[in-house]
Amino acid sequence: MEKITLTVDHSILTNARKAARKKNRARFMNKMKKNKAAVAGGIIIALYLLIFLIGPLLAPYDPYDVQLEQKLQAPSLEHLMGTDDKGRDIFSRILYGSRLSIGVGFSAVLFGGTIGTILGLIAGYYGKWIDSIISRILDIMLAFPGILLALAIVSALGPSLINVTIAVGFFSIPMFARIVRGSTMEVKKLEYIDAVKTLGANDFTILAKHVFPNILSPIIVQASMRLATAILSAAGLSFLGLGAQPPSPEWGAMLSSGRDFIFTAPYMAMFPGIMISILVLGFNLFGDGLRDALDPRMKN
C-alpha cells in the first residue's frame, strides 16, 4: 500500500514540476516579446547566425583571389562593398569572415564559461579554504584590465586566432566564476539540498543535478553579455596584428588593413567596422532582455 501511495505522490510532484516549468517558459517568452530592444537584438543575432551558417555559399567571389587590376574599386553592382588593395571582393571576405569572428567569440565564451562555472561551483559549494584559494586567484585575475591580460597572453603564446580565443576566454573566467560562486552559495542553503544529502547523494550528483540547473539563468545572461565583449576584444586583438593573420578575412584584421586607406578607400574599413558594431549591439540588447526576463527580482 505504501508503494502505491509513494508512486502517486511522485506522479503528482512530477506533474507539478512540469506545470511550473511550462508556466516559467510562458512568462519568459511573454517578457521577451514585450521587450522591443531584446526582440531587435534577437533578430540581429539570428541574421548573423544565418550569415555564419550559409554566408560562404552566398559569396560571389573567392575571398582569397587576388586581382590587382581591380584593386580599390568603389562599391558597385559588380562588387557590392568594393574591393580592397589586393583586388579581393570585400563582400565575399565579410561573408567568409563571419565564421572566424563569430566563431572566436562563441569559442572564447564557451572556454571561459566552462572553466569559470566549474571553479565557481567548487568554491561556492565547499567554501572554507578551497573558496579562499579560488577567490584569491580570481581577485588576482581581476586586478588586471581584461584587454591587457589578453595582450600579455597572446604576446606570450604568439599571434594566432587560436591564441586569441584562449586569451579572451581566459579573462572571462573570473566573471563567470564569481557569479556562479554567489549563486551556488545561495542554492546550497536551501532545504531540498539537505534532503538530497540525507538520501545519500554524492557531491558530484548534487552539483550536477540539483545545484547547476538552478543557477543556469545567471550563467546564460552572463554568457550573452560576454559574447559582445569577446567578439569586440578578439577583433581588437586582430586589429593590432595579434590575432588572425593575412590573408585571413577576419573582420578585425580587415579593419586593420583598411586603416591605411581610410581617406582614399574608406569603405575598406567602414564595412567590417559596421558588421562588428551591429553584432555587438545585437548581443548587448538581447543580453539586457534576457537579464530582465530571467532575473527573479525583476518579475514584478
**What residue ranges do the domains of the chain occupy?**
1-34, 40-298
Lowest mean pLDDT among 45-54, 203-212, 272-281, 289-298: 289-298
216 vs 12, residue with greater confidence: 216
pLDDT over 50 at 29, yes or no = yes
Grid coordinates belonging to 224 = 550573452
pLDDT over 50 at 13, yes or no = no
pLDDT bin (cut points 50, 70, 90) of residue 88 is very high
User: Amino acid letter at 166?
Assistant: I
20 vs 285, residue with greater confidence: 285
pLDDT given for residue 127 in this prediction: 82
CB-based burial label for 204 (10 Å; 0-12, 13-18, 19+): exposed
pLDDT over 50 at 93, yes or no = yes
pLDDT over 70 at 227, yes or no = yes
Task: Tell me the three state secondary structure of residue 228.
Answer: helix
CB-based burial label for 212 (10 Å; 0-12, 13-18, 19+): middle
Per-residue pLDDT tens over the stretch 114-146: 999 999 999 998 988 998 999 999 988 888 877
pLDDT over 90 at 22, yes or no = no
Grid coordinates belonging to 293 = 526576463
Count other Cβ atoms within 10 Å, centred on residue 203. Answer: 13
Sign of the alpha-carbon dihedral angle for 230, 159, 246, 270: positive
Residues with Cβ < 8 Å from 28, sequence gap 6 or more?
293, 294
pLDDT given for residue 141 in this prediction: 86
pLDDT bin (cut points 50, 70, 90) of residue 92 is very high
pLDDT given for residue 11 in this prediction: 58
Phi/psi of residue 168, nearest 5 degrees:
-65, -40
* H helix count then E strand count, the chain: 12, 0
Grid coordinates belonging to 275 = 558588421
Q: For 40-298, which CATH superfamily applies?
A: MetI-like (1.10.3720.10)
User: d(Cα 69, Cα 85) in Å, to the nearest integer?
Assistant: 10
pLDDT given for residue 10 in this prediction: 47
pLDDT given for residue 260 in this prediction: 86
Lowest mean pLDDT among 28-37, 58-67, 157-166: 28-37
Grid coordinates belonging to 123 = 568554491
Grid coordinates belonging to 33 = 516579446
pLDDT given for residue 96 in this prediction: 92
pLDDT given for residue 17 in this prediction: 55
Sign of the alpha-carbon dihedral angle for 175, 177, 182, 186: positive
pLDDT bin (cut points 50, 70, 90) of residue 12 is low
pLDDT given for residue 276 in this prediction: 93
Task: Tell me the three state secondary structure of residue 89.
Answer: strand
pLDDT given for residue 19 in this prediction: 65
pLDDT bin (cut points 50, 70, 90) of residue 300 is very low
pLDDT given for residue 282 in this prediction: 92
User: d(Cα 242, Cα 62) in Å, to the nearest integer?
Assistant: 25
Per-residue pLDDT tens over the stretch 61-87: 999 988 888 898 999 999 999 999 899
259 vs 193, residue with greater confidence: 259
Task: Tell me the three state secondary structure of residue 83.
Answer: strand
Decide if 228 contacts 246 (C-beta within 8 A): no
